[in-house]
Amino acid sequence: GAGVSQSPSNKVTEKGKDVELRCDPISGHTALYWYRQRLGQGLEFLIYFQGNSAPDKSGLPSDRFSAERTGESVSTLTIQRTQQEDSAVYLCASSLERVAILNTGELFFGEGSRLTVL
């Protein structure tokens, strides 16, 4: 499809396990974002990738969280030794480039990956 694709859509895991979430941005979008949405809360910025620049990791909540992006395509968000407080919907978004935020504010979001840590 032409939109941002995320997988899995739902993931249930046990506390202490590692999980990997995947995001396929829109083709040609150089900027990619990860946000976290806990129940009843707003979207929490996690990390941002822009082309070959160093990612902005300022939102990652702990060193258990990491993300990678291959060139300007797929990104994976990895959570190690999951905790119950990691339960949330993890949203990925992409945009043409960073400056697109100034011009349009338009991020294109996927439907999210719902993570439940038991």
Partner 1 sequence: AQSVTQLGSHVSVSEGALVLLRCNYSSSVPPYLFWYVQYPNQGLQLLLKYTSAATLVKGINGFEAEFKKSETSFHLTKPSAHMSDAAEYFCAVIPSGGYNKLIFGAGTRLAVHP
Q: Give the residues lining the site for partner 1 (CB under 8 A).
A: 3-4, 31, 33, 35, 40-45, 48, 50, 56, 59, 91, 93, 98-99, 101-112
Whose CA is closest to 7, among 116, 110, 85, 117?
A: 110
Nearest distance, CB of residue 52 and partner 1, angstroms = 14
Give the residue with the Cβ less far from partner 1, 53 or 62. 53
Shortest Å distance, C-beta 15 to partner 1 = 26
Q: Minimum CB separation from partner 1 for residue 42, in Å?
A: 4
- Residue 13 vs 37, nearer CB to partner 1: 37
Polymer length of the chain: 118
Number of Cβ atoms within 10 Å of the Cβ of 66: 14
User: For partner 1, which is the closer residue by CB, 30 or 82?
Assistant: 30
| 103 or 116: CB nearest partner 1 | 103
